């Protein structure tokens, strides 16, 4: 083969670019050199033009941009199933916060993140937006697993294993931002005040100043439960979105997780301020927090994306199920089968997710010059045969287990369903070792 050398030519029956206005390429190909996409086109054209080091994909495959999880606490995979079938307040205060108080350490978080990255990559997620503690361990482990993260240093008004008070969280957050701001292309630091019910207005404003000073994202929980709305309204005279808006916190550098209980007026505020919403449908359903008004938000132009939330309230890290459930649920809720189409759902999971995380210039769609975060899907399955529309297939029929190969930043991290970064059985064995210790202590 002659032509210009590239590292990879990734081919498929379909290349679903998620570029606005561009239909999926039939018998398409993506040329990749180094970290970036060199060109997209038909296999016929690109195979004549380029001499690839390797060809990936092929017949019976489809290529999509990597899926983006815009709200999680990835290290909570070790608390998966620790306490289920409880209301949010009881679940958090009775089980999750005590377990975190007892177990969180650099070692715990690092081991848990290894498992979370493995799970997410095998499920086709290439970037996640995290809010947690022991963030240096999260950053290092995520980098070692070859995965991309926007990582918000968690901030609260009360003590945890990570810090004693708001000022200590804030100063640790600032140090974290300084250390990671431009040190690794896979890691982007952010600020994460937990929620308006765990952070005073003063703490929220300090977090906002920090985000402005360093030009980083502010990631928070917002209007998750009716209980939160009642409490915040009682305290500040207005519901959570209005409360944050009156403090001057809301703009297009904010990712707000949940936004379940928002009024029409608050939807207008979210739209006008440019806040991105992370819709965590599975977590909201499981905790019976409610159903976010996603269709009204989309109609008003709010950038709505998907988050899994932590695996303790989900109980997995899988954007395929988020897409599938959301696309079905909101049709039923709105009594209208034409809303939240399959194409809308995949957009929320890719390019809208990249926009939320301030990365739409470099990620979220397949375009020459963008970073090569790509997923190859295996279409050769009975439950995927036949199909007439690739978006419908991905959202309504596909499972995360149909992910075959994952590339992040031009590097293959999963190939033929096998993680190339670390031995999978070792990661699972380690998770079971921690579980035995946690289960024993929880019983006592
Ligand atoms: Zn959360």
Ligand 1: distance of its center to the CA of 102 in Å? 19
Q: What is the pLDDT of residue 165?
A: 95
**Cα–Cα distance for residue pair 418/388, rounded to 1 Å:** 29
CATH topology assigned to domain 67-356: TIM Barrel (3.20.20)
Number of neighbours of residue 332 by Cβ within 10 angstroms: 10
Three-class DSSP category at 436: helix
CATH class (in words) of the domain with range 4-65+373-409? mainly beta
CA of 56 to the centre of ligand 1 (A): 36
Q: Quick one: 184 exposed, middle or buried, by C-beta within 10 A (0-12, 13-18, 19+)?
A: middle
Sign of CA dihedral 50, 53, 57, 62: negative
CA 387 to centroid of ligand 1, rounded, Å: 35
Report pLDDT for 441. 75
Question: How many CB atoms lie under 10 A from the CB of residue 440?
Answer: 9
Structural domain boundaries in the chain: 4-65+373-409, 67-356
Question: Which ranges in 306-407 belong to alpha helices (H)?
Answer: 319-334, 342-349, 351-356, 390-392
Please give the distance, rounded to the nearest whole angstrom, from the Cα atom of residue 72 to the centre of ligand 1. 6
Q: How far is the CA of 54 from the centre of ligand 1 (A)?
A: 40
Q: What separation in Å is there between the alpha carbon of 283 and the centre of ligand 1?
A: 9
218: CA distance to ligand 1 center in Å?
A: 14
Choose among 173, 86, 178, 184: nearest CA to 135: 173
pLDDT (tens digit, 0 to 9) for every residue of the chain, 444 residues total? 569 999 999 999 999 999 999 999 999 999 999 999 999 999 999 999 999 999 999 999 999 999 999 999 999 999 999 999 998 888 889 999 899 989 999 999 999 999 999 999 999 999 999 999 999 999 999 999 999 999 999 999 999 888 999 999 999 999 999 999 998 999 999 999 999 999 999 999 999 999 999 999 999 999 999 999 999 999 999 999 999 999 999 999 999 999 999 999 999 999 999 999 999 999 999 999 999 999 999 999 999 999 999 999 999 999 999 999 999 999 999 999 999 999 999 999 999 999 999 999 999 999 999 999 999 999 999 999 999 999 999 999 999 999 999 999 999 999 999 999 999 999 999 999 999 999 877 655
Cα 194 to middle of ligand 1, angstroms: 8
CA distance 288 to 87: 7
Q: How many whole angstroms separate alpha carbon 71 and alpha carbon 131?
A: 8
Would you give the distance in Å from CA 296 to the centre of its chain? 22
* Ligand 1 center–CA 434 separation, angstroms: 22
Query: Can you give the pLDDT at residue 333?
Result: 98
- 3 state SS of 309: coil
Q: Are 276 and 255 in contact (CB under 8 A)?
A: yes
Q: How far is the CA of 62 from the centre of ligand 1 (A)?
A: 32
User: Helix count (H) and strand count (E) of the chain?
Assistant: 17, 16
């Amino acid at each position: 083969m002659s032509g210009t050398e590239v590292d990879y030519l990734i081919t498929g029956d379909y290349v679903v670019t998620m570029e606005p206005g561009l239909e999926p390429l039939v018998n398409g190909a993506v040329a990749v050199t180094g970290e970036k996409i060199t060109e997209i086109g038909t296999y016929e054209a690109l195979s004549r033009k380029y001499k690839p080091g390797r060809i990936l994909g092929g017949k019976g495959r489809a290529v999509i941009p990597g899926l983006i999880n815009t709200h999680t606490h990835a290290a909570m995979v070790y608390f998966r199933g620790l306490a289920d079938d409880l209301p949010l307040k009881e679940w958090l205060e009775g089980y999750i916060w005590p377990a975190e108080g007892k177990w969180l350490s650099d070692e715990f978080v690092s081991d848990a993140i290894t498992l979370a990255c493995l799970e997410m990559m095998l499920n086709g997620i290439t970037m996640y937006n995290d809010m947690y503690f022991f963030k240096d361990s999260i950053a290092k482990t995520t980098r070692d697993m070859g995965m991309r993260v926007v990582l918000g240093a968690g901030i609260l008004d009360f003590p945890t294993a990570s810090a004693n008070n708001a000022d200590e969280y804030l100063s640790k957050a600032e140090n974290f931002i300084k250390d990671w701001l431009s040190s690794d292309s896979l890691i982007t630091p952010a600020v994460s005040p937990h929620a308006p019910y765990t952070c005073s207005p003063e703490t929220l404003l300090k977090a906002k100043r920090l985000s402005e000073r360093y030009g980083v994202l502010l990631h928070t929980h917002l209007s998750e439960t009716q209980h939160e709305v009642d409490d915040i309204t009682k305290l500040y005279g207005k519901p959570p979105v209005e409360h944050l808006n009156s403090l001057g916190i809301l703009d297009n550098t904010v990712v707000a997780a949940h936004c379940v209980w928002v009024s029409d007026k608050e939807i207008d505020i979210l739209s006008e301020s440019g806040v991105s919403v992370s819709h965590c449908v599975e977590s909201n359903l499981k905790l019976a927090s409610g159903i976010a008004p996603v269709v009204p938000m989309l109609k008003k132009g709010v950038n709505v994306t998907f988050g899994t939330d932590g695996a303790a309230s989900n109980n997995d890290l899988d954007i395929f199920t988020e897409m599938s459930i959301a696309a079905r649920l909101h049709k039923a809720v709105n009594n209208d089968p034409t809303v939240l189409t399959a194409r809308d759902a995949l957009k929320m999971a890719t390019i809208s997710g990249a926009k939320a995380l301030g990365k739409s210039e470099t990620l979220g769609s397949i375009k020459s010059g963008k970073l090569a975060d790509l997923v190859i899907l295996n279409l050769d399955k009975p439950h995927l045969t036949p199909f007439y529309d690739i978006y419908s297939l991905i959202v309504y029929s596909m499972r995360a287990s149909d992910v075959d190969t994952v590339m992040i930043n031009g590097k293959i991290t999963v190939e033929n369903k096998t993680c190339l970064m670390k031995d999978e059985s070792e990661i699972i064995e380690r998770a079971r070792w921690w579980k035995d210790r946690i289960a024993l202590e929880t019983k006592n």
